[in-house]
Amino acid sequence: MSATVQSITVLGASGSIGVSTLDVIARHPDRYKVFALTADRRWQVLATQCLAYRPRYAVMKDPVSASALEMELRRQGCTTEVLQGDDALAQVASDPEVDTVMAAIVGAAGLLPTLAAVRAGKKVLLANKEALVMAGGLFTRVVAESGALLLPIDSEHNAIFQCLPNHRADYLQQGLKSSGVRKILLTASGGPFRNTPLSDLPKVTPEQACAHPNWSMGQKISVDSATMLNKGLELIEACWLFNARPQQVQVVVHPQSVIHSMVEYIDGSVLAQLGNPDMRTPIAHALAWPERIESGVASLDLIATARLDFSSPDYMRFPCLRLAQQAAETAGTAPAILNAANEVAVASFLQRRIRFDQIAVVIEQVLSRIVSVEPHDLGHVQAADAEARALAQQLIAQW
């Protein structure tokens, strides 16, 4: 049992990961208390959460939503202070009273508040993979300087972390090989269109793309899972988190999502982490690490699961995966360009402005037209992100 109660900021509290995080926290009032909750616009969700968890601060990115939340909380007699905007997000991520930050804002919008938490040396539970994909080099430098503890929430990376040796410093400083690791096996469900006839893919709707067979998630990551760009982002994320080269990460399609990823050692041992597909397991693992706590997740019923299947990814069906692998190998600002083009393309698909199969076309064209450079600071990353967004928007407007 921990001696002190940990104070937690949940960035992206109104989202899928945010809600699961609060569910785990609520099971352990003796261990955790909520310092701040944040969202963009869904102030009603945040109002309910503030009444339940009574945080010191609630931050809305959007000013109109902040006013609505403020009015509602005052009406309900809740004393949570409402703040607004980017500076406030960074402030609650780095406040001296905060021990742990759950980084669960979706997309590039999470980069600055997550970096603020890392700079302040917090324990950072990283769900916001896009931040690491965009600025992995900078991130890892700041982690080393500040002494922050970065723990993966993405189910695959949390699984890999659990299967890797306990002496993290060894592989982080000298590479995976020095720890006897041959490769990482990154599992992928293949999403909702794994078996859809290729000729039907141009017709799929946002509703179909968001209906993931195994996981319940926010819209953007659901579309990323349907294109398998998510697995590409995860490959890049794994390289930064575990000091791996892209060639050391093999993507394996495993439709049941029971094995969350594996690590193969040079003696031929393959270690896997298994569990029900419920994000409360990696969230509880990272919250309590190196201890273990209850997460609310049911026991895995292996008899009912009955079988585990594996296959190679189909690059004809999932061109986004190949594009992400190429960006990982190019490195520099290529992953930031890939991520920005994808964010614009996915938003346009969700607004029914482009077809599902055009997401890959946007990314491919943007990557081929913007040259990757070595980013020396955050400004370079942000410039690449802005250039890629503008080009993606321009291409989509011309269609």
Note the residues at the interface with ligand NDP (CB under 6 A).
12-18, 39-42, 61, 104-106, 109, 127-130, 154, 215, 217-221, 279
Partner from ligand NDP, Mg ion, none binding residue 260, C-beta < 5-8 Å depending on class: none
Contacts of 316 (CB under 8 A, 6+ apart): 198
Structure tokens at 234: 């995860």
Which residue's CB is nearer to ligand NDP, number 219 or number 372?
219
Binder of residue 17, out of Mg ion, ligand NDP, none (CB less than 5 to 8 A by kind): ligand NDP
Residue 15 binding partner per list Mg ion, ligand NDP, none, with a CB distance cut-off of 5 to 8 Å that depends on partner kind: ligand NDP
Give least dist CB 362 to ligand NDP, A: 19
Q: How far is the CB of 360 from ligand NDP (least distance, A)?
A: 18
> Is position 154 an interface residue for Mg ion (rule: CB under 5 A)?
yes
Short-list 223, 234, 219, CA closest to 356: 223
Distance of CA 186 to the CA centre of its chain: 15
User: Smallest distance, Å, CB 111 to ligand NDP?
Assistant: 10
- Can you tell me the distance from the alpha carbon of 151 to that of 349, in angstroms, rounded to the nearest whole number? 32
Closer residue to ligand NDP (CB): 85 or 175: 85
Smallest separation, CB 224 to ligand NDP (Å): 7
Nearer to Mg ion, 17 or 116 (CB): 17
Question: Residue 106's binding partner, choosing from Mg ion, ligand NDP, none, with beta-carbon cut-off 5 to 8 A by kind?
Answer: ligand NDP
Contact 227, 359 (CB under 8 A): yes
Comparing CB distances to Mg ion, the nearer of 156 and 387 is 156
Q: Is residue 237 at the binding interface for Mg ion, with CB under 5 A as the rule? A: no
Structure token digits, residue 131 = 């931040």
- The token pair that represents 58 in the structure block: 């609630």
Chain position carrying tokens 């953007």: 220
Closest distance of CB 174 from ligand NDP, Å: 28
Cβ of residue 211: shortest distance to Mg ion, in angstroms?
Answer: 17
Mention every residue, 6+ apart, whose C-beta is less than 8 A from residue 246.
235, 236, 239, 325, 328, 329
Collapsing DSSP to helix, strand or coil, 11 comes out as: strand
Q: Tell me which of Mg ion, ligand NDP, none is bound by residue 215, counting a contact when its beta carbon lies within the kind-specific cut-off of 5 to 8 angstroms.
A: ligand NDP
Indicate which of ligand NDP, Mg ion, none lies near residue 265 (CB less than 5 to 8 Å, by partner kind). Answer: none
Question: Which H or E run contains 132?
Answer: helix 129-146
The residues near 150 (Cβ < 8 Å, ≥ 6 apart) are 118, 124, 126, 139, 143, 241
Q: How far apart are CA 392 and CA 344, in angstroms?
A: 7
Residue 277 or 375 with smaller CB distance to ligand NDP: 277
Rounded Cα distance between 244 and 143, Å, is 17
Q: How far is the CB of 161 from ligand NDP (least distance, A)?
A: 14
Q: What residue number has its CB nearest to ligand NDP?
A: 15
Residue 280 Cα distances to 24, 102, 104, 146, angstroms: 7, 13, 13, 28
Q: Contact residues for Mg ion (CB under 5 A)? A: 154-156
